[in-house]
Amino acid sequence: MSSSRPSEASRSSGTETPVADDVRPAAAIPGIDPAPGFSFRDGQHVFLDRLAKAYDNGQRDHLGVFVPGYGKTLTALGSFAVARSMGICDRLVVFVPRGNLRDQYADPEEMARMLQWIGQPPLPFCVADSSRVYLKNSSIPIVIATYQYACGDSGNRDLKRYCKQGKPLFVLDEIHHLPEEGAWSAAVDNLPYNSLVGLSGTPIRSDGQPLFGVPHDTITRDDGSEDQFYRALHEVTLRQAHAEGGILKRVEAHVIDYSITMVEEDSGREVEFTLKELKDIKREDADIDRYFARRRLRFHDVYLDSLLGPAVARFQSKRAQMKGTLRKMDGDGRNHQMLVICMSNRHAAEVLDFMQRRYGWLSSTRIGQDVPREEREKRLEAYRNGAYDVMVQVDMIGEGTDIKTISVIAKLDLVSAKSKTLQQIFRGMRYFSPWDEDANVCDVYTSGDLGLEQTLDWVTREVQEGIRTRKEKSPPKDPAEPKSPSERSKWAVTSVSESEFETHRLELNRRGTDSALQVSRQPYKRPDPSAMDVSAREEELRKELSEDATELAYLLQDRGKDVSIRDVHAAAKRRFNVAQSEMSIQQLENKKKWLRRCKMMKKLV
């Protein structure tokens, strides 16, 4: 791979191909035996077919680009099924940011269900995040590790030991976090692997660095400069996702601009400029006062009222419209939620104070690095469950956080890079199937000084074209009653001089549709816990052993024997020649059988 650095505009040099004649049926892809009633999404199908063909050609490192909500977990498991059946790999190590564990990989029933869909048995797996269970049970075929765990000396050492025992396939989730030169990349590069699959919705970086392990093409321009373009095995774009339907919400973006006045203290001279005129001012500029004015502005009640006022009004309107529907809904009757993105912990604290002062009837909270981790997780869990209407945060709800009821985003930070902005918007774009099409809209509010008009125009245009494609493919419908005009365009920020409110929106006829990922709800047999989440099974066994050892000690004491609980565990250690803390699942099962035999015989045997 070339060492030249790509520009921020780096993109795929490959074509975006839908399922075509040269793509084999899913059942013909090695390792894939789809369950009755199951079908892959188009992009998943194409990727797995191309992966098998690439393995035939000796290619081992690959990139898949999938929008959030498209099913990267299923793609990772499908990739392993292909690699294992072709003799490329015999174990799977998935690397994820720590925040992705809960929503994407930590549910044993969901993992078993996905494996069942693609024709695989319920393979055991273990989460490696400060746990060494997978080392005591080295035959576990699937390990989910966080990048943070892999960066630690002990974690990296233990993962290396596990990887050396077989031929691992590495799946690097959210690979845009891994520049070629970075701590996470160095940690992964220190581990042996046979094949690598990178997954991301936005595989470009604002700092211009190429990504670790990702194939690139280098193009030399006429002036001798070089640009790199990532080469994806397959890419699913916003347009394609909306053409399939049922994956992402539609987007309506609202940009606020107004003028502000600065006074020079020495001369009293007044200078007036708009937010848009501030967007090019950097910290390095000579006129540093304007840069800091831009930051301070985000703490000002006028600014917050101008941006959050319309956002909250839209939020309340959406919640009010949903209330009547929720009474009739079967299943998940969840209402809309709002997300506020801030610059810093201090800024988030000020914004939360503003929200509670101005909109006290909404339940709101915040999370940030200054909030203790236990409290942070408690608040996030409460927000996830709908206990809070509004979450104020600083980049703490990141990729993989699956809160589908987020549908209003207020962007108050200074981030303007396209890749990062898209990741922020994606937090509110995941489709929520209990809602109808009209409710599946994500409203994004931001200010004019970020210069995001081009990015927001691109997003809405891609969404629009995707919906148009879906509409053209759908059968004709009877004409519907015309809808009354939207009230959103009537917003005016009257509390600030020279206010301007720009809305990027879509007005298209839509039809409701389910995702292309369709699964008939067949009778589902819950897998044996010991066959799936090994960490959970070990914890369960330890509790059972503790109870059995206690009962045995009391039983022997009742018979006049001087035997304590510690004596029981010591006898087990002598018998099995290993401490309980170092026992594998099978050894724990054996100790359990021994303890119960001892209880039955009323003695240590």
DSSP labels, 196-265: EEEEES----TT-PPBTT--EEEEE-TTS-EEEEE--SEE--HHHHHHH-SSB-EEEEEEEE-EEEEE-T
What 3-state class would DSSP assign to 96? strand
Which helix (H) or strand (E) covers residue 366, if one does? strand 364-367
Contact status, residue 168 vs residue 140, Cβ threshold 8 Å? no
The CA-to-CA distance between both ends of the chain, in Å, stands at 63
Numbered ranges of CATH 3.40.50.10810 in the chain: 26-236
Task: Kindly state the greatest CA–CA separation across the chain.
Answer: 97
Strand order across the 125-128 sheet: 125-128, 142-146, 91-96, 168-173, 195-200, 61-65, 234-235
Place of tokens 């797995």: 48
Angle between helices 585-601 and 565-576 (to 10 degrees): 120
**250-257/195-200 β-pairing:** unpaired
The number of CA neighbours under 13 Å toward the Cβ of 23 is 17
What 3-state class would DSSP assign to 272? strand
CA distance 248 to 230: 24
Contact status, residue 550 vs residue 601, Cβ threshold 8 Å? no
- Decide if pLDDT at 384 tops 50: yes
Residue-wise pLDDT for 33-75, tens only, equals 999 889 999 999 999 999 999 999 999 999 999 988 888 889 9
Residue-wise pLDDT for 392-405, tens only, equals 988 765 555 678 89
Reported confidence tier of residue 19, pLDDT bands at 50, 70, 90: low
CA distance 352 to 365: 7
Reported confidence tier of residue 278, pLDDT bands at 50, 70, 90: low
Numbered ranges of CATH 3.40.50.300 in the chain: 248-476+491-504
What fold, for 248-476+491-504?
Rossmann fold (3.40.50)
Task: Give percent of the chain with pLDDT exceeding 70.
Answer: 75
CA distance 193 to 526: 32
Is the four-CA dihedral 181, 187, 193, 198 of positive or negative sign?
negative
Name 198's bridge partners. 63, 172
CA distance 210 to 208: 7
Reported confidence tier of residue 177, pLDDT bands at 50, 70, 90: confident
Task: Give percent of the chain with pLDDT exceeding 90.
Answer: 28
Reported confidence tier of residue 166, pLDDT bands at 50, 70, 90: very high
Name 430's bridge partners. 248
pTM above 0.85, yes or no: no
Mean pLDDT score of the chain, rounded to an integer?
A: 78
**Cα 145 to the center of its chain, rounded Å:** 15
DSSP labels, 98-159: GGGIIIII--HHHHHHHHHHTT-----EEEESS--HHHHTTT-SEEEEEHHHHHSHHHHHHH
User: 505-510: long-range contacts at Cβ-Cβ below 8 A with a sequence spacing of 24 or more?
Assistant: 505/252, 505/253, 505/460, 506/250, 506/251, 506/252, 506/460, 506/463, 506/464, 506/467, 508/464, 508/467, 508/468, 508/471, 509/471, 509/480, 510/437, 510/467, 510/471
Phi, psi of 96 (to 5 degrees): -135, 155
Structure-block tokens of residue 567: 């004596």
CA distance 504 to 506: 7
- Decide if pLDDT at 583 tops 60: yes
Residue-wise pLDDT for 300-333, tens only, equals 887 888 889 999 999 999 998 887 666 555 545 6
Instruction: Tell which CATH architecture fits domain 26-236.
Output: 3-Layer(aba) Sandwich (3.40)
For the chain, the 3-state helix, strand and coil shares in percent, each to the nearest 5, are 40, 15, 40
Reported confidence tier of residue 139, pLDDT bands at 50, 70, 90: confident
